[in-house]
A = this chain, B = another copy of it.
Amino acid sequence: MTEKRPFDILNNALNNNVVVGLKGGIEVRGLMVSYDVHMNIVLEKAEQLKDGEVKRGLGTVLLRGDSVVYISPS
């Protein structure tokens, strides 16, 4: 059996929708097109969420890894 590693989930989520939670309670949903080892993440067609509802469109957005709390593929 191959050992699983946390970053596998990021690689598998490329070109799929993810929800990213940031420090300060901000939540963003979009298509993940790139990431790096610092968990810097680029989403396209991104939307900021509030209580699960769309608050506003963000288009393309780079989320700084240091601010990321969680990432959930949808």
Could you give 7 example pairs across A and B, Cβ below 8 Å?
A7-B40, A22-B70, A24-B69, A39-B64, A58-B70, A61-B71, A67-B70
- Copies of this protein chain in the complex: 7
Size category of the A interface is 35 or more
Kindly report which residue of chain B lies nearest to residue A25, judged by CB atoms.
B24
Contact bitstring A4-45, B, C-beta under 8 A = 1, else 0: 111111100000000001111110100001111001111000
Contact, CB under 8 Å: B62 / A6: yes
A interface vs B, CB < 8 Å? 3-10, 21-26, 28, 33-36, 39-42, 46, 52, 56, 58-74
Tell me, in angstroms, the Cα distance from A17 to B65 when the chains sit together: 22
